[in-house]
A and B are shown apart, each in its own frame.
Chain A
């Protein structure tokens, strides 16, 4: 069965549910739907974006309380009172308010390294919960009652069976939008977050923005769930928005499989049903009171993380493999290309660059320049400061002093992605690819700056024309480096040398004027090296400037137009390959002195 027909079966089963299932199961399914919405947000945030939040329940609370307050409060000032007239007006209000709260919290915590965000979310999860319980206009710990029911096309959704359809239409809609979003340029930018911000920024991704996007989307789903909850229950109190529920949402995402949107459904369903079942069963074993199911849940989580760190969805998929979708590259008009400088123009000009790490001077008074249509090789022993220079040029690290000019403008002090936008692209010494993504998608990240469609266009798949062109461009670069047979393979399955080649394709997909390659030939076999050298020559003849760091002397000397030699952070020689090879300083640096 194909993936598409499975979705159709699921939709039909869900549609028939209320006609055959007893009341109790409908209620359970309603809650599974509400939880799945929140969990879906967490899948995007945690599983895909690599950011963890324990505070989603608090966002659900903001959404629920917003609509509860607006629809029940009396004597509101006129400029807000009109919103409370109908729950359909409070829906945008609830989502908007939650997103604004999330944006403020996100501004504070998203810039911090990994574990501060989850800790921050624990703190705000706690304080929002206590705030709900202590603000008298929100009804304190007793909460707010008398929330109106929803009315859709003249039908009152008081019955759970009717509400069911609203919930599940929204859940399936959210799944569809999320899947669309992930399968797009913006989605690749979000997925690239897990590969570390340095790589994503070097490809032109504004990682702060991508983090914020996924964080706000997750908060928005939580708010939607809260709004539904308020009008389903028609009563809210602080309990379902506490930290422990926030933890439960995270469990749902992790157990279900945080890497895939369907994991949200599996996780929410499984945990909800298990919890229901355990709440019936455990008191009979342990005696009357107490929520003993948390012992079980704790142990279950530990077990899942020990045995199936990626959750249950991948396990399910292995058991019932779907037919692979057809390879997704269609012929499309090529993307517009950058106007390239004529051969001989100075592209990169590094002037007296100094980089100090505390007392260590990694680069001292380094100067070099690269012209269009030239391959400059930067060589030197390990620890000579070559990779540091790369990082200075590409904006990963700030210079201590000195200047970097690119295409006539100063770029030192600029962010990596701004430099990338100007037409500089790079590979990394330690391969930075997303192992589970296909070669095609990895390379397409390189073309990030050549598309412009945003999140909404992506979510509704309004950007397919551009997307096809981006993928076609990526496929073209993969072909150029000779990996077409692996186009749809996950990058992690390739040999290291091939992965380096994928990095080159990714850099080329940005349509750069200057290409920076950090040890591209390491790990390649003899024939692969020859093919790579041919490719680089061809690129040079087309007017590309290439700065190459490499250890393989045969490779360098046969390829480079000129060579710069570094030792201990300083330039010790510069010139044509033959000249440099005869230079006594260079021989001493590489082979030791001759007494």
Chain B
């Protein structure tokens, strides 16, 4: 391997690692706030990318129908609860978000011609369709199980993952898609070509990470999420709704997932089931961080990206084996350093 290839692989690794880092952050966020190990994270990546791709070929993305369908389901559940408890006034906000919003989205997309929209608008529209799916899934699937154990929540997550992958296949078919790059620029840095899209991915990831940092450090909602992560009961006593915190963390996770998908769609072909693998690699990063520390998780994810990239050069057949085996020494290290004392329930 000469220096040029090494640099090229390094660039590849960092680009992928940036995406894994974003996903790792989302996974840590969701786990810390809700104790849910969010396996379906990857599906939001695929949904984001494929929704954008559908727009670009002038097709109506299936995620629109998923949004409408889940919205109706949430509305039915909320109406049921509201009539039973006689709290009809609270319904207004639920119906706005779950019925009116998807309806407006459907009208705009069906009447407009998304294929002719500028890229920025297409991206915004894709995010607008995919992000609300996060809180809806939380409302329908996880909220009734709030008190369940981590393991039950994990199994449910796997179930949600399967359902969403199946829906992805139904909506987008088995063929993969690529989207138009955000930029066609090609820079020559010391003999290595750096594509504009690669810079976009790394830059956007960095910006998102900073935005998240500011959100958690400075905003009231960010602090509420952190409080919930540290002590659920304590947060509730301070008037923070853990349900709202859960929905918010799912919205963030969905946004991060969809944004990651939109960022990589011009570089790699995204299939309906691509997200799972990407999500799992984000997981390896998150586990390196012990599902608790954001910076360590992000660092772990970049490491996974680099490892993947270099091992694809030396031992491409064993690329996945190597990436997933990295977790083992990390777990060994964790088992040797953490003394696990169970908490009183």
* Chain A residues positioned under 8 Å from B280 (CB to CB): 122, 126
Residue in A198, A290, A297 whose CB lies within 8 Å of B162: A297
Does any Cβ of B come within 8 Å of A120's Cβ?
yes
**Least CB distance, A130 to chain B, in whole angstroms:** 4
Residue in B154, B291, B331, B340 whose CB lies within 8 Å of A120: B331
* Chain B residues positioned under 8 Å from A286 (CB to CB): 170
Interface of B is mostly: helix
Stretch in B104-112, B191-199, B205-213, B315-323 touching the partner: B315-323
* Chain B residues positioned under 8 Å from A247 (CB to CB): 158, 162
Mark B131-165 against chain A: 1 for CB-CB distance below 8 A, else 0: 00000000001001100111110111011111111
A127 to B324, CA, bound (A): 6
B152 touches A305 (CB 8 A): yes
* Chain B residues positioned under 8 Å from A118 (CB to CB): 37, 151, 154
B344 touches A430 (CB 8 A): yes
B145 touches A305 (CB 8 A): yes
Does any Cβ of B come within 8 Å of A142's Cβ?
no
A411 to B87, CA, bound (A): 60
* Chain A residues positioned under 8 Å from B321 (CB to CB): 127, 130-131, 134
Does any Cβ of A come within 8 Å of B21's Cβ?
no
Q: Which residue of A lies closest to B149 (CB)?
A: A114
Residues of A429-464 whose CB lies within 8 A of B: 430
B166 touches A294 (CB 8 A): yes
Residues of B280-302 whose CB lies within 8 A of A: 280, 283-284, 287, 291
B154 touches A52 (CB 8 A): yes
Does any Cβ of A come within 8 Å of B341's Cβ?
yes
Mark B301-338 against chain A: 1 for CB-CB distance below 8 A, else 0: 00000000000000001101100110110011011001
A126 touches B324 (CB 8 A): yes
Does any Cβ of B come within 8 Å of A109's Cβ?
yes
Mark A103-129 against chain B: 1 for CB-CB distance below 8 A, else 0: 000001101111110111011101100
Task: Find the residue from A50, A120, A250 having the highest chain B CB count within 10 A.
Answer: A120
A396 to B321, CA, bound (A): 39
Does any Cβ of A come within 8 Å of B174's Cβ?
yes
Does any Cβ of A come within 8 Å of B169's Cβ?
yes
Does any Cβ of A come within 8 Å of B342's Cβ?
yes
* Chain A residues positioned under 8 Å from B163 (CB to CB): 294-295, 297-299, 302
**Least CB distance, A285 to chain B, in whole angstroms:** 11
**Least CB distance, A325 to chain B, in whole angstroms:** 30
A115 touches B340 (CB 8 A): no
* Chain A residues positioned under 8 Å from B342 (CB to CB): 113, 196-198
Residue in B155, B174, B320, B328 whose CB lies within 8 Å of A254: B155
A305 to B146, CA, bound (A): 12
* Chain B residues positioned under 8 Å from A131 (CB to CB): 318, 321
* Chain A residues positioned under 8 Å from B160 (CB to CB): 298, 302
Does any Cβ of A come within 8 Å of B167's Cβ?
yes
Residue in A52, A54, A109, A302 whose CB lies within 8 Å of B331: A109
Q: Which residue of B lies closest to A428 (CB)?
A: B344
**Least CB distance, B275 to chain A, in whole angstroms:** 14
Chain B contributes a number of interface residues (CB within 8 A of A) equal to 48
Interface of A is mostly: helix
* Chain A residues positioned under 8 Å from B341 (CB to CB): 396-397
A52 touches B325 (CB 8 A): no
* Chain A residues positioned under 8 Å from B331 (CB to CB): 108-109, 112, 116, 120
Does any Cβ of B come within 8 Å of A309's Cβ?
yes
A393 to B156, CA, bound (A): 41
Does any Cβ of B come within 8 Å of A5's Cβ?
no
Q: Which residue of B lies closest to A248 (CB)?
A: B162
Does any Cβ of B come within 8 Å of A291's Cβ?
yes
Residues of A235-266 whose CB lies within 8 A of B: 247, 250-251, 254
A52 touches B155 (CB 8 A): yes
B159 touches A123 (CB 8 A): no
Q: A294-B162, A297-B159 are in contact. Are A112 and B320 (CB under 8 A)?
A: no
B156 touches A302 (CB 8 A): yes
* Chain A residues positioned under 8 Å from B37 (CB to CB): 115, 118-119
Q: A123-B284, A247-B162 are in contact. Are A130 and B320 (CB under 8 A)?
A: yes
**Least CB distance, B138 to chain A, in whole angstroms:** 13
* Chain B residues positioned under 8 Å from A134 (CB to CB): 317-318, 321
Q: Which residue of B lies closest to A112 (CB)?
A: B335
* Chain B residues positioned under 8 Å from A165 (CB to CB): none
Task: Find the residue from B37, B317, B331 having the highest chain A CB count within 10 A.
Answer: B331
* Chain A residues positioned under 8 Å from B338 (CB to CB): 112-113
Residues of B166-205 whose CB lies within 8 A of A: 166-167, 169-170, 174
A130 to B170, CA, bound (A): 27
Residue in B155, B324, B334 whose CB lies within 8 Å of A305: B155
Does any Cβ of B come within 8 Å of A174's Cβ?
no
A291 touches B166 (CB 8 A): yes
Does any Cβ of B come within 8 Å of A301's Cβ?
yes
A127 touches B166 (CB 8 A): no
* Chain A residues positioned under 8 Å from B159 (CB to CB): 251, 297-302, 305
A462 to B148, CA, bound (A): 39
Q: Which residue of A lies closest to B327 (CB)?
A: A123
A397 to B344, CA, bound (A): 14
**Least CB distance, A333 to chain B, in whole angstroms:** 37
Q: Which residue of B lies closest to A197 (CB)?
A: B342
A292 to B166, CA, bound (A): 6
Residues of A393-411 whose CB lies within 8 A of B: 396-397
* Chain A residues positioned under 8 Å from B162 (CB to CB): 247, 294-295, 297-298, 301
* Chain B residues positioned under 8 Å from A300 (CB to CB): 159
What are 24 residue pairs bridging A and B, where the CB atoms are less than 8 Å apart in the complex? A52-B151, A52-B154, A108-B328, A111-B335, A112-B331, A112-B335, A114-B151, A116-B331, A124-B328, A127-B320, A134-B318, A198-B342, A250-B158, A290-B166, A291-B166, A291-B169, A294-B162, A295-B167, A302-B163, A305-B145, A305-B148, A305-B152, A305-B159, A430-B345
Closest 8 CB pairs of A and B: A298-B163, A295-B166, A301-B159, A298-B162, A127-B324, A134-B317, A294-B166, A123-B327
Q: A108-B332, A112-B340, A298-B162 are in contact. List 10 more A-B contacts (CB 8 A).
A: A116-B331, A122-B280, A123-B324, A131-B321, A291-B169, A294-B165, A294-B166, A295-B166, A301-B162, A309-B152
> Which residues of A come within 8 Å of B, CB atoms?
46, 50, 52, 54, 108-109, 111-116, 118-120, 122-124, 126-127, 130-131, 134, 196-198, 247, 250-251, 254, 286, 289-302, 305-306, 309, 396-397, 430
